[in-house]
Structure 1
């Protein structure tokens, strides 16, 4: 079996390989969703919901 080329790799099974030097970063990709684009009220609501779920897990684990 031939070892893979360290400079040419497939990302997330997309089927296309690309090459770049080890010092050059990957180009920016458009994000389909970003928490930074959410309004502040929505971000706070999401944070409270996640916090409530985590506290529920803690509460259930200590019962």
Structure 2
């Protein structure tokens, strides 16, 4: 039994590109890769404290 169907889309694609023309690099306002070790540790502790606050509030 043969099954044939079409993959035509009703909408045009916003853009198309191949490996020879990848997306241009986006300028990031900040990057964890450019943070110092102490800044990363502080950010991790802040996020951890925030998550523990959510857990603590949920258990009340």
Task: Give the TM-score band, short-chain normalised.
Answer: 0.5 to 0.7
Q: Tell me the equivalent position of 1:5.
A: 12
**Greater share of strand residues, 1 or 2?**
1
Structure 2 residue runs of 5 or longer lacking an equivalent are 1-9
User: Which is greater in Rg?
Assistant: 2
| Superposition CA RMSD, Å | 1.7
Structure 1 residue runs of 5 or longer lacking an equivalent are 10-17
Normalised TM-score (structure 1):
0.62
Normalised TM-score (structure 2):
0.65
Pick which of 42-51 and 26-35 moved more. 26-35
Q: Deviations over 1:28-62 (max 9, x none)?
A: 22222111111110110010011001001101101
How many corresponding residue pairs?
49
